[in-house]
Amino acid sequence: MKQLIELDINNRVYEVAVDARDLLLDVIRKKVGLTGTKKGCGEGDCGACTVLIDGKPELACIKLAIACQGKKITTIEGLVQEGGALHPLQQAFVDHGAVQCGFCTPGMILSSKALLDRNPKPTQYDIKHELSGNICRCTGYKRIIEAVKAAAEVWSKEGVK
């Protein structure tokens, strides 16, 4: 039996009809139409579906949509800055060539954002440890880590929302 729920995604409230068993990932992609969040393994291992829920990184492929009412969900689309500019993390990924096929990128960036929000000056180990749940099969980890470091510097200089 479907029921009508409200989901706050990127500061916009969407009214969607869901089954109790519908997963947040499928609702975001198919019902809301935001396809930046990717479906990888579907078992919570790869991190491609990472979204921020109340600022914390969570896995949308093993999260019930119905359990997300009243929470603030941020997807990669929500990082857009005023005037459509890229978020400093996105810019750093572009500048450092940290994107190859791009499938893991939205999850990588959201996990990095959660890390920098909590710890604006992470060490190399902090970055590796916190991003270890995001798997890149192009194996471009080195540049991803460099990009996060660079973004952290911008972060501490300018402050980012």
Partner 1 sequence: MFLNHFEYFAPKTPAETLELLGRLGSKAKILAGGTDLMVVMKAKAISPEYLIDINGVEEFKGISCEQGKGAVIGTNTKLAEVQFSKAIQAKYPALAYSAGEVGSSQVRHMASLGGNSCNASPAAETPTPLVAMGAKVVLSSLSGDRELPLEEFILGVRKLNLAENEILTKFIIPEPTQKSACRYAYMGRRDAMEIDCVNMAVNIELENDGETVKNVKLVMGSVYPRPLVSKEVPTLLHGQKLSDELIEKVAEAAQGEAKPIDDIRASAEYRREIVKVLARRLLIEAYAAAKGV
Binding site for partner 1 (CB under 8 A): 19-21, 23, 42-45, 47, 50, 56-59, 62-64, 66-67, 111, 114-115, 118, 129-135
Q: Which is nearer to partner 1, 23 or 76 (CB)?
A: 23
Q: Which is nearer to partner 1, 49 or 150 (CB)?
A: 49
Please, what is the minimum distance in Å from the beta carbon of residue 81 to partner 1? Answer: 24
Burial of 152 (0-12, 13-18, 19+ CB in 10 A): buried
Q: Which is nearer to partner 1, 1 or 13 (CB)?
A: 1
Please, what is the minimum distance in Å from the beta carbon of residue 14 to partner 1? Answer: 19
Q: Which is nearer to partner 1, 67 or 94 (CB)?
A: 67
Would you state the structure tokens that stand for residue 103, as one six-digit string? Answer: 């499938």
Strands 72-74 and 3-9: parallel
Please, what is the minimum distance in Å from the beta carbon of residue 85 to partner 1? Answer: 27
Please, what is the minimum distance in Å from the beta carbon of residue 70 to partner 1? Answer: 9
Q: Which is nearer to partner 1, 42 or 91 (CB)?
A: 42
Q: How far is CA 16 from CA 40, 52, 68, 86, 145, in A?
A: 23, 19, 12, 28, 37
Count of other CB atoms within 10 angstroms of residue 69: 11
Please, what is the minimum distance in Å from the beta carbon of residue 135 to partner 1? Answer: 8
